[in-house]
């Protein structure tokens, strides 16, 4: 029975030329073992999604897929981002696969968790999260900010699996449900728990990048975190309401104070208090407007209904037929 289940390992790649040969080697070994052990079907595949790389990533993928039956590739017309690359891989693979595993190209995620995920699939789970058992390899800064982010998301009512990124297994039906989400602002790790089904976790140690540099510099990371919050929660807008109510309460107290002072005949120069309130209120208003603007911007990009990606070339379907 097990050997009828097709597995596709989806790997997003953006300028991954330095690591790719090693990634191909390690994933091929893992997949070959799974096939020999009859845990997955013989026509299981690795699908590399080239997200508009500027280096020789696509040439490498093409070469490897010509040499190996297990390796396939998909090429975007330009860079659409990590999350879209994952989604595109799934949308192409879902037709022929019973389960899909997404994993980064840089070998930070331990490939040995793959057989464990497949094992869980055979036990009847539809969603298997890869969860890192420590953040030793992260910088102090990334560790703290990640922790704060998960805390904040939980407070705002967003259900995330802490310390799990985009390393996970999804069954065919879980992937189909995920693909039915039509949003353009993708935050997959927030969407997967919404899909439901039976889920479990597999723990692994996250390593340093094998080669090359992180494609998530601080600015992109912050943007991604903000996107995660504003795509899943309107708590910031509620917060503005409370902030406004608080400001009004404080101003009522101030008003009483001012009137009492006036009645007592004290002539107050009032310059400092005026300056402070103008700046403070101005700041609060600007922040509030920008929060609302963030949501309006989201609505703007959603209503345009632009395609989430354009596939320029792909040899997965051909190899699966």
Q: Which does 215 bind (CB under 5 to 8 A by kind): ligand UDP, Mg ion, none?
A: ligand UDP
Q: Token pair of 152, please? A: 């904040």
Spatial distance between the Cα atoms of 28 and 42, rounded to a whole number of angstroms: 12
Handedness of CA 248, 249, 253, 256 (dihedral sign): positive
Smallest gap from residue 137 Cβ to ligand UDP (A): 10
- By the rule CB under 6 A, 247 interacts with ligand UDP: no
Give one DSSP letter per residue of 160-219, joined into a string.
--TTEEEEEEEEHHHHHHHHT---SS--HHHHHHHH-S-EEEEEE-----SSS--S--HH
**163 contacts ligand UDP (rule: CB under 6 A):** no
**Contact residue for ligand UDP among 20, 60, 106, 158 (CB under 6 A):** 106
Nearest distance, CB of residue 214 and Mg ion, angstroms? 6
Strand order in the sheet with 199-204: 199-204, 127-132, 164-171, 99-102, 7-13, 45-50, 71-76, 311-314
DSSP type of residue 102:
E
- Which letter, b or e, does each residue of 134-161 get, where b requires 16 or more Cβ atoms within 10 Å of its Cβ? eeeeeeeeeeebbeebeeebeeeebebb
Q: What is the number of other CB atoms lying within 10 angstroms of the CB of residue 164?
A: 19
Q: Which is nearer to ligand UDP, 43 or 185 (CB)?
A: 185
Q: Which of residues 263-282 bind ligand UDP (CB under 6 A)?
A: none
**Residue number with CB closer to ligand UDP (158 or 165):** 165
Task: Give the chain's end-to-end CA distance (angstroms, integer).
Answer: 21
Query: How far is residue 11 CA from its own chain's centroid?
Result: 14
Which does residue 71 bind out of ligand UDP, Mg ion, none, counting CB within 5 to 8 angstroms by kind? none
Q: Please report whether residue 98 would count as binding ligand UDP according to CB under 6 A.
A: no
Is residue 45 within 8 Å of 319, Cβ to Cβ?
yes
The residue among 23 and 108 lying less far from Mg ion, judged by its C-beta, is 108
Computed on alpha carbons and rounded to an integer, the radius of gyration of the chain in Å comes to: 25
By CB under 6 A, name the one of 46, 85, 107, 113 that touches ligand UDP: 85
By CB under 6 A, name the one of 112, 214, 310, 317 that touches ligand UDP.
214
Interaction of residue 215 with ligand UDP, rule CB under 6 A: yes
Instruction: Please list every residue from 46 through 75 that binds ligand UDP, using CB under 6 A.
Output: 51
Q: Which does 14 bind (CB under 5 to 8 A by kind): ligand UDP, Mg ion, none?
A: ligand UDP
Residue 82 contacts which entry, Mg ion, ligand UDP, none (Cβ below 5-8 A, type-dependent): ligand UDP
3-class DSSP state of 158: coil
In angstroms, give the least distance from the CB of 59 to Mg ion. Answer: 22
Residues that bind Mg ion (CB under 5 A): 104, 106, 108
Q: Which is nearer to ligand UDP, 82 or 172 (CB)?
A: 82
Using CB distances below 5 to 8 A depending on partner kind, what does residue 279 bind out of Mg ion, ligand UDP, none? none
- Rounded to the nearest 5°, which phi and psi values hold at 19? -100, -20
Q: Which is nearer to ligand UDP, 197 or 210 (CB)?
A: 210
Question: Measured from the CB of residue 296, what is the shortest distance to ligand UDP in angstroms?
Answer: 25
For ligand UDP, what does the binding mask look like between residues 3 and 42, x meaning CB under 6 A?
Answer: ---------xxx-x--------------------------
Binding footprint of ligand UDP on the chain (CB under 6 A): 12-14, 16, 51, 79, 81-82, 85, 104-106, 108, 214-216
């Amino acid at each position: 029975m097990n050997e009828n289940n097709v597995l596709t390992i989806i790997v997003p790649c953006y300028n991954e030329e330095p690591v790719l040969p090693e990634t191909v080697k390690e994933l091929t070994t893992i997949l070959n073992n799974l096939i020999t052990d009859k845990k997955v079907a013989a026509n299981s595949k690795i699908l590399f999604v080239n997200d508009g790389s500027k280096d020789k990533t696509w040439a490498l993928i093409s070469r490897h897929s010509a040499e190996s039956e297990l390796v396939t590739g998909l090429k975007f017309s330009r860079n659409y981002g990590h999350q879209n690359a994952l989604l595109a891989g799934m949308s192409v693979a879902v037709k022929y696969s019973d389960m899909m595993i997404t994993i980064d190209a840089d070998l930070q995620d331990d490939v040995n968790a793959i057989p464990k995920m497949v094992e869980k699939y055979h036990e009847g789970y539809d969603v298997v999260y890869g969860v890192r058992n420590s953040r030793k390899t992260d910088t102090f800064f990334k560790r703290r900010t990640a922790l704060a982010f998960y805390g904040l998301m939980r407070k705002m009512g967003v259900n995330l699996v802490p310390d799990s990124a985009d390393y996970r297994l999804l069954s065919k039906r879980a992937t189909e449900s995920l693909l039915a989400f039509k949003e353009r602002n993708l935050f997959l790790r927030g969407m997967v728990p919404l899909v439901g089904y039976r889920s479990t976790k597999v723990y692994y140690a996250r390593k340093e990048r094998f080669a090359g540099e992180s494609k998530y510099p601080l600015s992109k990371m912050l943007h991604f975190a903000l996107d995660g919050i504003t795509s899943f929660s309107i708590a910031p807008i509620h917060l503005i309401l409370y902030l406004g109510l608080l400001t009004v309460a404080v101003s009522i107290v101030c008003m009483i104070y001012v009137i009492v002072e006036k009645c007592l005949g004290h002539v107050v120069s009032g310059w400092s208090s005026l300056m402070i309130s103008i700046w403070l209120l101005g700041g609060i208003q600007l922040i509030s407007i920008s929060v609302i603007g963030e949501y309006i911007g989201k609505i703007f990009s959603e209503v345009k209904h632009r395609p989430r990606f354009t596939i320029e070339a792909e040899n997965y379907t051909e190899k699966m037929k």
